[in-house]
Amino acid sequence: MTTELKQKISQFLDDDLNATEASHLLTELQHDNDALGALHRYTAVSQALQAKQFTLVDSDFASVVMNNLAEKPRALPVKPVLVYRRYVKFLALAASIAVLAVLLLHNFNQANSATIGQVAMQQDTTEPLNKQIDDYIHTHPTAINLAADAELDGGDNSLHPSMTAFDEEPMGQGK
Amino acid sequence: MKTSNKIIEQVDEQLVALAQQGDKQAYNLLVLKYQHKIIHLVNRYINDASEAQDIAQDTFIKAYRDLGNFRGDARFYTWLYRIAINTTKNYLVSRYKKNIADAISDEDAEIYAANQQWQTFNTPEQQVLNQEILDAIYLAIELLPEDMRMAITLREFEGMSYEEIAQIMKCPSGTVRSRIFRAREAIDNKIKPLLDHREF
């Protein structure tokens, strides 16, 4: 066991080695029982100073653990799939909400524009038409058979001329 | 202290990541690094040193098999610590078939661990031998040259990093690294004969 190796052990205990250096150290420890013993004693002293109490640990403690684990080839894999699935679920939900929102907005706009269009069309067509009808009635008071209507309904017919003219008689044919 | 903790996290994270990919050497390093802490923790509750080591080993085995679920939200040691406490509780419940484990709350365990004053359950003979080794360690530290004693004290008692100690001692961190190593060597030379008698 070299002094350099022991210094590496000391550095390892103080987290002064990165993972690669630590891995190299472990490789060396596996072939050097004296160095492994030094690691055990250094860690024991460190723990004793921190805990103000010395606890004896078997030198083969770690090897017993690793032998037990030899039955299992490797650690359970990290579950990137689960994380991925969680994100997929989230994204799918967000996408669904977005699509739903777009569809609703689209339908709402369509309904609104249709209604507005219809109203506009009605306004565009009916108002001038009514005006034309009224004008027509005023200029051609005998063109519509008010008397016949009055007999059929038996009431006040002040509004009927325009209604009758609008529903039944195409413009211009009454002349 | 934050710098020191950050370095520990980085090294542990790297080792855990390697172990999660099936690198058992990396996990072996984590076992070597934390075995004494975990055994010391379990030993607070278990009235038998041999059983305490069995439970500590079981803790490391469970931790490895559950390593895929470790997401790095907490430090590796904190996660391992919880597994050790739960494993100890389960052992006590199965062993004594009563709610003795309820007496151990995670909070209590944290406090005890922080105070480090709980009496370890060992036989009187073991306690005498352990105290003898502890005394030898303290004596070895007292005999160290001032610069080495200060460096090892700041490292072990205060948990400072090399850089932090270098700032305090106004010397390069390489010098601190060397002083701490030489201090450990001096202590090791004193305790090795005592430990050799105990098949350490």
Residues of A in contact with B117 (CB under 8 A): 52
Residues 6+ apart with CB under 8 A from A150: A157
- Amino acid at residue number B71: R
Q: Which residue of A has its CA nearest to B29?
A: A26
Residue at token pair 């009563």: B98
In whole angstroms, give the CA distance from residue B21 to residue B10.
Answer: 17
* Residue length of chain B: 200
* SS3 (DSSP) at A56: coil
Q: Min CA distance, B91 vs chain A (Å)?
A: 18
Comparing CB atoms, the residue among B53, B134, B199 nearest residue A61 is: B53
In whole angstroms, give the CA distance from residue B116 to residue A42.
Answer: 19
Neighbours of B178 (CB within 10 A): 16
In whole angstroms, give the CA distance from residue B198 to residue B190.
Answer: 15
What number is the average pLDDT over the span A105-131? 65
* SS3 (DSSP) at A144: coil
Task: Locate A51 and state its tokens.
Answer: 């805990």
- Residue A169 exposed, middle or buried by CB count within 10 Å (0-12, 13-18, 19+): middle
pLDDT for position B165:
95
pLDDT at A149 over 70: no
Q: Min CA distance, A48 vs chain B (Å)?
A: 7
pTM above 0.90, yes or no: no
Contact check, Cβ <8 Å, A41/B156: no
Contact check, Cβ <8 Å, A45/B65: no
In whole angstroms, give the CA distance from residue B41 to residue A111.
Answer: 71
Radius of gyration of chain B (CA): 19
* SS3 (DSSP) at B145: coil
pLDDT tens digits in sequence order for chain B, 200 residues long: 444 555 556 778 888 988 998 888 889 989 998 999 999 899 888 878 889 999 999 999 999 999 988 888 888 999 999 999 999 999 888 877 555 555 566 555 555 544 444 444 566 777 788 899 999 999 999 999 999 999 999 999 998 999 999 999 999 999 999 999 999 999 999 999 888 766 54
Q: Min CA distance, B16 vs chain A (Å)?
A: 10
Residues of B in contact with A6 (CB under 8 A): 181, 185
Task: Locate A32 and state its tokens.
Answer: 């050097």
Quote ipTM for the complex.
0.77
